[in-house]
């Protein structure tokens, strides 16, 4: 079985994120870049599928030069090979272009499963897996809290507001996984050493057969008009409980007409 896992380098989850004043894109230099937390679950799930059913796992990432670290991180967890799509023309790409680039990188390589995290912690759109499934014309089995395979049948539990839906489809399929589907492994020392020797294909937009003019900020189909930091909240009232803390909140909520 051939499995791909798509990962993204994002600013550290715990860092304050800002937009760049120059072009309103995410200021990626302002914080450490890490493997998107939700993608760690995707890598783990893909590794578990590969281990249980046999197969080769390729990690695919689109991102600037330093996203190579993120590809290596996934390799050190156990992925076999990497594809890093890096090209200056990609800066500022919207989800439409990103999905086109990923689909072009994935297409024709015979992947049976393409695994994603359910969202990135920076953009948080949750649309890329669905867009890639749309472009490749294959099954979309997303927001999975459980994945099981039997031959070419794939069954997932799709998280819903009320619980979950059991959804089935056949390979080839796009899967996205939610947080907590598994416990992502830490790269071992051996894994980190081995990752240095694993093959990573660095490809450009032209290598994928796409025109540079169709990606990047200028080609985006949505644009930021302006942005501003949310004005700081005026300081509220904080009191120390002297046996009447609950009553004081009740009084406040009454004043605010909540009760």
Partner 1 sequence: MTTVLVLAERDSSNGTVKKTTLELLTLARRLGEPQVVWFGDQGSEAASVLGEYGASAVHVVGGQDMADHPVVPIVDVLQALVAELDAKAVLVPSSADGKEAAGRLAVRIGSGVITDAVDINESGVATQSVFGGSTVVHSTVTHGIGIYTVRPNSVAPAPAPTTCTVVDVDTTASEAAKTARVVERTVAGKGGRPELTEAAVVVSGGRGVGGAEGFEVIEKLADSLGAAVGASRAATDAGWYPHLYQVGQTGKTVSPQLYIANGISGAIQHRAGMQTSKVVVVVNKDAEAPLFELADFGVVGDLFEVVPQLTDEIDSRSN
Query: Binding residue for partner 1 (CB under 8 A) from 180, 190, 196, 197?
Result: 180
For residue 228, state whether it binds partner 1 (rule: CB under 8 A): yes
Among 22, 151, 160, 197, binds partner 1 (CB under 8 A): 160
Instruction: Produce one character per residue of 168-195: b if its CB has 16 or more CB atoms within 10 Å, e if not.
Output: ebebbbbbbbbeebbebeebeeebeeeb
Which residues in 7-26 contact partner 1 (CB under 8 A)? 13-19, 24
| Residue 32 contacts residue 70 (beta carbons within 8 Å) | no
Q: Does 38 bind partner 1 (CB under 8 A)?
A: yes
Please tell me whether residue 121 binds partner 1 under the rule CB under 8 A.
yes
Residue 29 interacts with partner 1 (CB under 8 A): yes or no: no
Q: How far is the CB of 232 from partner 1 (least distance, A)?
A: 9
Q: CA dist 71 to 65, 83, 179, 181, Å?
A: 11, 8, 20, 21
Cβ at position 60, least distance to partner 1 in Å: 18
Identity of the residue, 86 or 93, whose beta carbon is nearer to partner 1 in the bound complex = 93
Identified binder of partner 1 from the candidate list 167, 192, 200, 212, rule CB under 8 A: 167
Q: Please, which residues have CB within 8 angstroms of residue 26's CB and are 6 or more apart in sequence?
A: 11, 17, 18, 19, 20, 122, 123
When asked if residue 149 is in the footprint of partner 1 (CB under 8 A), the reply is: no
Q: Does 193 bind partner 1 (CB under 8 A)?
A: no
The token pair that represents 58 in the structure block? 């390729």
Q: Looking at beta carbons only, is 196 or 230 nearer to partner 1? A: 230
Minimum distance from CB of 57 to partner 1 (Å)?
23
- Asked if 107 is part of the footprint of partner 1 (rule: CB under 8 A), the reply reads no
Please work out the total of residues on this chain that contact partner 1, with binding judged by CB under 8 A.
Answer: 85
Containing 255, the helix (H) or strand (E) segment is helix 245-255
The reply to whether 152 sits near partner 1 by the rule CB under 8 A is no
Contact present, 144 and 157 (Cβ < 8 Å):
yes
Please report, as residue ranges, which positions from 49 to 88 form the binding site for partner 1 (by CB under 8 A).
none
Residue 129 beta carbon to partner 1: minimum distance, rounded to whole angstroms:
8
Answer yes or no: are the C-beta atoms of 98 and 128 closer than 8 Å: yes
Pair 139, 170: CB distance under 8 Å: yes
Kindly report the backbone phi and psi dihedral angles of residue 116, in degrees, each rounded to the nearest multiple of 5, phi listed first.
-130, 160
Round to whole Å and give the CA distance between 216 and 220. 6
Instruction: Give the Cα separation of 6 and 238 in Å (integer).
Output: 46
Q: Which of 141, 144, 203, 215 binds partner 1 (CB under 8 A)?
A: 141
122 Rama class: left (phi>0) / alpha (psi -120 to 50) / beta:
alpha
Piece of the chain touching partner 1 by CB under 8 A; list 49-57, 106-114, 172-180, 186-194: 172-180
Contact region with partner 1 (CB under 8 A), list: 74-82, 91-99, 105-113, 185-193: 91-99
């Amino acid at each position: 079985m051939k499995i791909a896992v798509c990962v993204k380098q994002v600013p550290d989850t715990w860092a304050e994120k800002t937009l760049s004043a120059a072009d309103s894109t995410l200021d990626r230099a302002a914080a450490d870049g890490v493997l998107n937390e939700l993608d760690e679950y995707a890598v783990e799930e893909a590794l578990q599928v590969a281990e249980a059913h046999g197969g080769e796992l390729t990690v695919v990432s689109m991102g600037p030069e330093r996203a190579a670290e993120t590809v290596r991180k996934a390799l050190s967890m156990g992925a076999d090979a990497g594809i890093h799509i890096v090209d200056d023309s990609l800066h500022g790409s919207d989800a439409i272009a990103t999905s086109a680039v990923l689909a072009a990188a994935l297409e024709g390589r015979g992947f049976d499963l393409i695994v994603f995290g359910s969202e990135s912690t920076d953009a948080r759109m949750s649309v890329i897996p669905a867009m890639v499934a749309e472009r490749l014309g294959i099954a979309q089995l997303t927001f999975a809290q459980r994945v099981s395979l039997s031959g070419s049948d794939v069954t997932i539990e799709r998280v819903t507001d009320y619980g979950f839906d059991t959804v089935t489809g056949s390979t080839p399929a796009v899967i996205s996984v939610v947080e907590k589907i598994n416990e992502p492994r830490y790269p071992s020392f051996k894994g980190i050493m081995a990752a240095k020797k694993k093959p990573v294909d660095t490809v450009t937009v032209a290598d994928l057969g796409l025109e540079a003019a169709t990606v990047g900020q200028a080609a985006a189909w949505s644009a930021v008009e302006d942005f501003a930091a949310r004005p700081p909240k005026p300081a509220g009232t904080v009191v120390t409980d002297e046996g009447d803390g609950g009553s004081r909140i009740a009084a406040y909520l009454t004043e605010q007409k909540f009760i």
